Chain A
Amino acid sequence: MNKKSILKNTICIMLSIAVIISMSGCTSFNNSSLKRLLYMEAFGVDMDQEKGEYSCTTQIFDPMMGAATIQEQDKPITRVIETTGESISAAVAAMTEQIGRKPYYSQNKVIVIGEEIAKEGITSMTDYFDRDWETRLTMQVLIGSPDASGIVKSTLGDVINPAEELQLIAQAGNVNGRVPECTVLDIKKALSDKYTDFCIPVVKAEGEGEDSKVTVESIAVFKGDKIAGYVPYDDARGVLLLNDEIEKTIFVIKIKGVGNASMNIINSKTDLKVNIENDEIVCDVYVKCEANIPEINIEDDSIEILNEIDSIQDECEKQIIKEMDNAAKLTVNEMGCDIYGIGRRLMYNERDYWENIKNNWNEEIKNVKFRYHVEAEINRIGETVNQKSKQN
């Protein structure tokens, strides 16, 4: 063997040893084997007014905490730790005072921000959630009313993993069309842009133990980094429609002389076009949606449903317009919040006009006019043609 081959082989062996030592799965550089970690599942942040510190409530999954009996396997697998700190990272680090294991953030599902902090401003408290290397921008964010602690502590009817349930509530918008999904990325993106605002669902905890539940109460609309107002849950769908966030939702259409028809929206697309007309900002909202009818409660069984399709569609379009208009008036004309990207569209489409008004955008936005163009189409009416009953 010549000198060159010996050198090459030595380097190969050294590299192999280095790889084996340094990259052996979970027991890597940080000495953080799975057993030594504390998996954060849900994280709540409130303000301890007396101390002037952050008060953090964390739902954790502790791999060392196993179920002793079969009965216990149905109980929640998580527990709650409460800590305080001058900063979020200090409060997270303080968890080790109660459980001597390293908190691991990457698995965290939901962040709940206390309503009080949200009213004072969230810029500084959200910094940790995008600066720290373990945090993920895709984490769901909720506002806890009146505080975050109650939400994180709730066992949601003693489910096995309450944090997972909480995450599903935060994502429920894609099923019910009333809860806007908000992630850390959405917040940071809006906070980095001085002309765009954002909204976060507000949740409330009720009951204890098996009766405990968390429900969405309203949507908090932010101006800058503070809450500017709330959109009631019943009007929330208008916000999602305007923001093109509707995946599925059910409209119950009341038609005089016919009855109630449930329209299950299966596909919806919203387009916002902003232009200037007579020196006024006009926002044209185009909505196209497709729906199926899963249920019809007709008043008179002599009514032929197929003959009523057009009127159901028309009524649905009117309801969509009504909900969007309510949401637009409340969020844009009253609160002066741009959660629909109107300013950004002006920046592109009406550059000169935008340059003149951008410094006064907070006031100008209140004068934006909305025009709606909605097309709703029924694709299917289910397996039954007409309703036959003996009710009359």
Chain B
Amino acid sequence: MASKNCITAGQMYVLLFISRIMLELTYSLETDPLQGGWDYILITAAGIILTAIAALPLLWLLKRRQGMGIIGSAEYEYRWLGISIAAIYGIFFVYQAIRSVGRFDFFVTTILSPNSSYLTFSILIVLAAVYAVFMGLEGLARTAGIVLVLMTVSILTVTLALIPQYDLYAIRPPISGTPEDYMQSLFTAFSWTPEIAAIAILAPKVKGRLNKGFFIWMGAILLTVSLIIFVPLAVMGEFGANKMFPFYIASTIARLGSIERIDALMVGFWVTGMFVKISMYMMLVTMCFEKIFGKKHRTAIIIITAIIIAGVGMLFSSTIKSVYAPQLQIIEQISTIAVILVLPAIVLLGTFKKKRNVKKHE
């Protein structure tokens, strides 16, 4: 039974990698002023590096309080703080799951089957995710291993198949934006790796060295995300930056000999990636709320979370305005900064205070 809820550091980073890449594959913010040029690739890379730096307090905390995670560490200081942290992270993951379901719905009903009901896709993906949550963390991590292979194959296939069509002159040269453009893009890019918050919760269930894997994971994200942005730009130029899902559109152009419809294969693989992502977030929500309401309410937590995610997720994808609402972007950016930097830093400071108090008593 214990093995069902324990994974290695490598498995955890595979889960988080899939989640992060799915965001890139099914999301396009075409309001970004730098899209269409090398600047966008560079600023996204800078955003990832900055996010990695912002995660240092969390990594330090997890090193100081090995096997405890952020909730355990906060609880160790004060019980109320532990519960508050669990609630905040739980709500954050619910929000992320809702946005993921919304984006997935939007992707499917824009590209694959616009006449279909977004309700169908929301319910199907959440039902599958509920099943995965009941199967346990280890089962999901093993599935993620297979999904990682499929996704890597799909991304590399598109990248290599399109090489003859690359036109580097079609990409706007670097340093074409204004300082305001760079600041806006950097702020947006900063909020694109909310998976760091998952490390804070999953840490007690992970065997192995978290810190070493973290930097490899961030490096892999940096490379893959850069590739996902680069390929459509090199093939379609500034027109590619104006498409809703640039990498998917690039896959519709790719050919492998006489095989033309590679995009169908890609979508199949990406759906499995989305399943892993939503399952992971649902599992994180369950882990957070279990701390508050106790393990005996696990089933109820899973079902209520599933209903909320499917229901609200639909609202987030029903109209184009709800998908691209600027308020949501701001909520996303602020909440991500809070869970990957501010809260871990507060709990970390608490650990030093406690150490001082202990020394005083001695």
B116 engages A29 (CB within 8 Å): yes
- CA A193 to CA B233, docked complex, whole Å: 12
Given A28-B113, A193-B238: A8 and B253 within 8 A (CB)? no
Name the contact of B131 in the complex, choosing from A12, A188, A192, A348 (C-beta under 8 A): A12
A7 engages B299 (CB within 8 Å): yes
- Report the minimum CB–CB distance from B310 to chain A (whole Å): 13
B127 engages A14 (CB within 8 Å): yes
- CA A345 to CA B173, docked complex, whole Å: 10
Interface residues of A in 1-27 (CB under 8 A from B): 4, 7-8, 11-12, 14-15, 18, 22
- Closest B residue to A137 by CB, please name it: B253
B169 engages A189 (CB within 8 Å): no
- Closest A residue to B112 by CB, please name it: A133
Contact with A along B94-127 (1 / 0, CB 8 A): 0000000000000000111111110010011001
Name the contact of B169 in the complex, choosing from A4, A11, A185, A345 (C-beta under 8 A): A345
Given A22-B124, A347-B173, A348-B169: A7 and B115 within 8 A (CB)? no
B170 engages A138 (CB within 8 Å): no
A11 engages B242 (CB within 8 Å): no
Given A136-B252, A137-B252: A30 and B113 within 8 A (CB)? yes
- Closest B residue to A132 by CB, please name it: B114
CB of A93 within 8 A of chain B? no
Q: Please name 12 further chain A to chain B contacts, defined as beta carbons within 8 Å, in addition to the given A192-B237, A348-B169, sorted by A numbering.
A: A4-B134, A11-B130, A18-B123, A22-B124, A30-B113, A133-B111, A136-B252, A189-B237, A193-B170, A193-B237, A193-B239, A347-B169
CB of A318 within 8 A of chain B? no
CB of B276 within 8 A of chain A? no
Q: For B170, list chain A residues within 8 Å (CB).
A: 189, 193, 344
CB of B249 within 8 A of chain A? yes
Q: For B249, list chain A residues within 8 Å (CB).
A: 137
Q: For A133, list chain B residues within 8 Å (CB).
A: 110-112, 114
Q: For A8, list chain B residues within 8 Å (CB).
A: 131, 134-135
CB of B349 within 8 A of chain A? no
CB of A169 within 8 A of chain B? no
Q: For A189, list chain B residues within 8 Å (CB).
A: 170, 236-239
- Report the minimum CB–CB distance from A113 to chain B (whole Å): 18
A29 engages B113 (CB within 8 Å): yes
CB of B128 within 8 A of chain A? yes
B115 engages A30 (CB within 8 Å): yes
- Closest A residue to B113 by CB, please name it: A29
- Report the minimum CB–CB distance from A138 to chain B (whole Å): 6
Q: Label chain A's interface by main secondary structure.
A: helix
Interface residues of B in 279-310 (CB under 8 A from A): 299
29 contacts between A and B (CB under 8 A): A11-B127, A11-B131, A11-B134, A12-B131, A15-B127, A18-B123, A18-B127, A22-B120, A29-B113, A29-B117, A30-B115, A133-B112, A137-B252, A188-B239, A189-B170, A189-B236, A189-B237, A189-B239, A191-B239, A192-B237, A192-B242, A193-B170, A193-B239, A341-B167, A344-B170, A345-B169, A347-B172, A348-B169, A348-B173
What is the total number of residues of chain A having a CB less than 8 Å from a CB of chain B? 28
- Report the minimum CB–CB distance from A127 to chain B (whole Å): 12
Name the contact of A185 in the complex, choosing from B236, B260, B299 (C-beta under 8 A): B236
Q: For B111, list chain A residues within 8 Å (CB).
A: 133
CB of A390 within 8 A of chain B? no
- CA A18 to CA B249, docked complex, whole Å: 28
- CA A18 to CA B135, docked complex, whole Å: 20
- CA A193 to CA B113, docked complex, whole Å: 30
- Report the minimum CB–CB distance from B173 to chain A (whole Å): 5
- Report the minimum CB–CB distance from B339 to chain A (whole Å): 30
Q: For A14, list chain B residues within 8 Å (CB).
A: 127
Given A7-B299, A137-B252: A15 and B128 within 8 A (CB)? yes
Interface residues of A in 316-354 (CB under 8 A from B): 341, 344-345, 347-348, 351
- Closest A residue to B260 by CB, please name it: A138
Contact with A along B325-361 (1 / 0, CB 8 A): 0000000000000000000000000000000000000
B253 engages A138 (CB within 8 Å): yes
A18 engages B124 (CB within 8 Å): yes
- Closest A residue to B299 by CB, please name it: A7
Name the contact of B238 in the complex, choosing from A4, A192, A348 (C-beta under 8 A): A192
- Closest A residue to B116 by CB, please name it: A29
- Closest A residue to B131 by CB, please name it: A11
- CA A119 to CA B170, docked complex, whole Å: 26
Q: For B238, list chain A residues within 8 Å (CB).
A: 189, 192-193
Q: For B173, list chain A residues within 8 Å (CB).
A: 347-348, 351
B127 engages A192 (CB within 8 Å): no
- CA A7 to CA B131, docked complex, whole Å: 9
Q: For A137, list chain B residues within 8 Å (CB).
A: 249, 252-253
- Closest B residue to A3 by CB, please name it: B299
Name the contact of B115 in the complex, choosing from A12, A15, A29, A192 (C-beta under 8 A): A29
Q: For B239, list chain A residues within 8 Å (CB).
A: 185, 188-189, 191-193
Q: For B114, list chain A residues within 8 Å (CB).
A: 133
- Closest B residue to A11 by CB, please name it: B131
